[in-house]
Amino acid sequence: MSSILEYEPKLVWKHFDEIRKIPRCSKHEEKIREYLLEFAKKQGLKAKTDKAGNVLIEKPASPGMENKPIVVLQGHMDMVCEKNKEVKHDFSKDPIKLKIEGDKLKADGTTLGADDGIGVAIALAILEDKNLKHGPIEALFTVDEETGLTGAFALEPGFLKGRVMLNLDSEDFGVITVGCAGGGDTIITLPVKKHKVEGDMAFLVIRISGLKGGHSGVDIHEQRGNAIKLLSRILWKVKQKCSLLLLDVTGGDKHNAIPREATALVAVKKGDVEELKKTVESEGKDILEEIKPIDPGFKAEVKKADSKNEALDKKSTEDLINLLYALPHGVLAMSFDIPGLVETSTNLAKVRVEGEKASIAMSSR
C-alpha cells in the first residue's frame, strides 16, 4: 500500500492521518484540542473541556440501548516528540512524515506519535460511525500523559458519568490488560568543578548515533542500545589510555524514550589524539558486533571541535564517566508468574552538564 488511507478500518486511518499533521507535544495540546472540539461540533455531539484542558465528547446510545452502562473510551492527546539530530523537523508546526516499510508504518526520523494517536483515532472513528450499535459513550481525551499523567490526575469529580472505562493506550491487538506498571522518575545531580584548560590540547566530539531508541516501557526488553550507556563505555575505555577531560556530555531527551544519540565534548593532549581515535574505533566495532542483530545502524564517530577555555577537572571527569558507566539500564527482573513479562526495568534517559553540576534522569518501572 502507498497510503495509510488505504488501510482498514478506513475511519481509523483517516483520523490518524489528520492527527499526525497536528502539533501535540506534551504540555502543548492546544491544536489537537481544537481539532477534537471541531470534530464534535461537525458530528453534532456534546463536548466540553475542564481546567486542565482535558476533552470529553459524548455520543448517545443507539435506539433501544439507552439503558446500557456508559462506556468511557480514554486516550491521551499528547505525544513524545523526539527526532534524530540531523533531521530538520519543528514539532511546533511540522506534520509527522510517514514511511511505509512492508507491513509497518513508521515515521521518517522522528517519533510517530501512534502513542496515543492511534488510540485517539480509534475513539474518533467509533464516535463518527453511524452503523455501530452501542450504549452511551463518553470519549475522554487527556493532556500531558507522557510527562506525568497530568490530565488524568487533574480530573475532577463529576466530569465523567461513566464507571466502565477502556483505556486505548496499549501495544497488542486483541489483548485486554487489567493492570498497569507503577513507575518513578529519579534525577541524579553530581556536583562538578571546572578549571582552565592549559597545555597543548586538542578538542574533539565523540558522537553515538544510528540507534533505534524506542519506548522505555514497550521496547526495554529488546536490549536496544542506549546511546548514553554506550558513550560512557567508550569514554571509560578512552580514559584508561588517554589523559582525558570532559567539557560536556549530552544524551537523551524524554524520560520514557531510550536515548538514540549522545555526544561528549572532550579535551586530550594532542599526542593522545590518535590513541583516542583508535580506542573509539576499536570499542565501536566491539559494540556493533554485540548489538548488530537489534541495532545495526550504530555509529561511533570522532570529529574535531573548536577550542574552549574551560573543562571539568580530572576528578569531576572521572566521577561523571564512572557514574554513567555504573548506572543500570534495561531489564532488572522478569515476572515469575507470567512468562515473558518484564517486572522491573529502568531507563537511563538523559544527561546534561549545566554550570557546576551534571544532571542525570532515570525512569524506572
Query: For 21-32, how does the pLDDT look when each residue is reduced to its tens digit (9 = 90+)?
Result: 999 999 999 999
CA pair distance 174, 11, nearest whole angstrom: 19
How would residue 211 be classed by pLDDT, with cut points 50, 70 and 90? Answer: very high
pLDDT for position 1: 56
CA pair distance 32, 16, nearest whole angstrom: 12
- Of these residues, 17, 78, 146, 295, which one is catalytic? 78
* Residue 78 annotated among the catalytic residues of the structure: yes
Distances (CA, A) of 146 to 29, 150, 177, 201, 347: 12, 9, 19, 43, 15
Query: For 127-165, how does the pLDDT look when each residue is reduced to its tens digit (9 = 90+)?
Result: 999 999 999 999 999 999 988 889 999 999 999 999 999
Q: Which among 90, 87, 119, 88 is positioned nearest to 28, based on CA atoms?
A: 90
Written out in words, the top-level CATH class of the domain with range 184-364 is: alpha beta
* Residue 185 annotated among the catalytic residues of the structure: no
C-alpha cell at 239: 580514559
pLDDT for position 148: 83
- Contact by Cβ (8 Å): 242, 272: yes
pLDDT (average), residues 241-249 = 95
Q: How far apart are the first and last CA of the chain?
A: 37
Any idea which of 35-39, 116-120, 251-255 has the lowest mean pLDDT? Answer: 251-255
Query: For 65-107, how does the pLDDT look when each residue is reduced to its tens digit (9 = 90+)?
Result: 999 999 999 999 999 998 888 899 999 999 999 999 988 899 9
pLDDT for position 171: 73
List the alpha helices (DSSP H) in 292-363.
314-326
Q: What is the CATH number of domain 4-167?
A: 3.40.630.10
Q: How many helices (H) and strands (E) does the chain have?
A: 7, 17
- Of these residues, 29, 115, 144, 145, which one is catalytic? 145
Distances (CA, A) of 108 to 95, 99, 113: 11, 6, 12
How would residue 170 be classed by pLDDT, with cut points 50, 70 and 90? Answer: confident
Q: Which among 99, 280, 302, 299 is positioned nearest to 210, based on CA atoms?
A: 299
pLDDT for position 338: 87
- Contact by Cβ (8 Å): 299, 212: no
- Contact by Cβ (8 Å): 155, 49: no
- Contact by Cβ (8 Å): 265, 305: yes
Query: For 326-355, how does the pLDDT look when each residue is reduced to its tens digit (9 = 90+)?
Result: 999 999 999 999 898 899 999 999 999 999
Average per-residue pLDDT for the chain: 95
pLDDT (average), residues 26-54 = 97
The total of other beta-carbon atoms located within 10 Å of residue 296's CB is 11
Q: Which among 269, 229, 268 is positioned nearest to 249, based on CA atoms?
A: 229
pLDDT for position 103: 86
Per DSSP, what are the bridge partners of residue 49? Answer: 55
pLDDT for position 71: 97
pLDDT for position 176: 81
Looking at the chain, the whole-number percentage of residues with pLDDT higher than 70 is 100
360: left (phi over 0), alpha (psi -120 to 50) or beta: beta
Per DSSP, what are the bridge partners of residue 46? Answer: 58
Find the length of the chain: 365
The total of other beta-carbon atoms located within 10 Å of residue 205's CB is 16
C-alpha cell at 189: 545531580
C-alpha cell at 363: 525512569
pLDDT for position 365: 92
C-alpha cell at 15: 483520523
How would residue 227 be classed by pLDDT, with cut points 50, 70 and 90? Answer: very high
pLDDT for position 84: 86
Looking at the chain, the whole-number percentage of residues with pLDDT higher than 90 is 87
The domain spans of the chain are: 4-167, 184-364
